[in-house]
Amino acid sequence: MYIYDHPAGLIAKPLLRTSPATNEALRECFLRAAFQTDQQYSDINLVSTYASLGSISHHLLEVASRGEFDDISEDVLEEAIRERWMECVQSEVQSLQDRTIISVPLPVKWPKYALRMVAACRAAFRITLKRRGKRSEAEHEFAANQTEVWYEGYSGKLVGRIDLIRHTSSGIELVDYKSGLVIEQDEIDGTSKRIKEPYERQVLLYAALVYENERQWPIMVTVESLVDGPHIVRFTPEAARQAVDEALRLLDTYNRQAAARSIRGAPSPSTCYWCGFKAFCTYFLEAADISWSGFSTTVIGKVKSIHLDYPSSISLDITGGDHHKGLANIRGIPMELTNILNGSEDDIILLSNIKRTPGSNDLLFDWSSMLWR
């Protein structure tokens, strides 16, 4: 990526409303929600093949739910779905390439690419066959399916976009798509399985929004995973209302702290693992150590020297982030960037999405890495 100027100080703005996704962000860390409200931070679009595969998978399920594959004969249906997947992948590769100066790796080399492709295509195939079965049973039910349904409720304080709403003669069915695993081991008995709590909370809020807008509770709520298939969530109206009350209380608490400018971070390895704002989070940079490092590394430090020979690199005195503190070499930096940095000794820089090198304290500037000063 190119070198960016570090954004100015964070301005935490009150939230006019919350959503199932925002509610989970608030539950984990108020500071993350604050970053999302400040455009100078929310506009930062980190490069992530994991997020790209999630977007592609979600799109494939959406078009299958809309019925775009319904008129394709079953003997070529799998091929048609695979072709749509490849079209989406090529579009995403181009989007990623527009945001980096290093060549984007071939999609087959993206982590878990083959697994995600097979899972998404199978799920789209399954959805299409299910739609055909419903169409043969009742044409009017089939035609009443809606995708990406936007609902607002509770005086506009709760909103959400539901992946799929099925209107049947028995009532409304709600479906929420997820690209990863949705089941975890029940901590109480240690043997049975249950829907992960964040996903359960999200569909409870969706169910409440359906009731607010349709004046009827869904008769079926399903979380459909690309990996392990559909899972029905058993719920009661009381549980849904309680989830709404908790979400609105959390919203009010956040807004009070935002108004008082007293929002603090809640750093931890699990909270910060997927956070796209940790490069700008003082709490993370000060609390993290090498044990927090996951699929990528984020550090802050002072530039000690710049090496313009090929391959170019910089020597950085790391003062914070999820790597060993002290001197480290950042290898593989494109010449275009080292030329820009030339003369920047003793400047403070931030790097995100850099990679650790096994058996060495050196770090590797990857195609998805970003640098701020």
pLDDT one-digit tens code per residue, 268-323:
999 999 898 999 999 999 999 999 988 789 999 999 999 887 778 999 999 999 99
Order of all β-strands in the sheet with 229-232:
146-153, 158-167, 172-178, 220-225, 229-232
Q: Kindly report, as residue ranges, where domains of CATH 2.40.50.140 are found in the chain.
A: 287-372
- For 101-140, how does the pLDDT look when each residue is reduced to its tens digit (9 = 90+)? 889 999 999 999 999 999 999 999 988 988 777 655 444 4
Average pLDDT over residues 143-166: 90
User: Domain 287-372 maps to which CATH number in 1.10.1740.110, 1.20.200.10, 2.40.50.140, 1.10.150.20?
Assistant: 2.40.50.140
Question: Taking a C-beta distance cutoff of 8 angstroms, is the pair 260, 221 a contact?
Answer: no
How, if at all, do strands 220-225 and 229-232 pair? antiparallel
- Cβ atoms < 10 Å from Cβ of 70: 14
**pLDDT reported for residue 300:** 96
The residue type found at 241 is R
Task: Kindly report whether the peptide bond that precedes residue 311 is cis, defined as omega within 30 degrees of 0.
Answer: yes
Which tops the pLDDT comparison, 189 or 81? 81
Give the per-residue pLDDT at 143.
Answer: 44
Amino acid in position 368: S
If phi > 0 it is left, if psi is from -120 to 50 it is alpha, else beta; for residue 321 that is left
Choice among 135-139, 149-153, 333-337 with the minimum mean pLDDT: 135-139
Burial (CB < 10 A; 0-12, 13-18, 19+), residue 63, is middle
| Contact residues for 171 (Cβ-Cβ < 8 A; gap 6+) | 216, 217, 218, 219, 220
Residue 40 in tokens: 């100078």
Quote the percentage of the chain above a pLDDT of 70.
94
pLDDT band at 192 (very low <50, low <70, confident <90, very high): low
Look at residue 135 in the predicted model and tell me its pLDDT: 53
Q: How many CB atoms lie within 10 A of CB 41?
A: 18
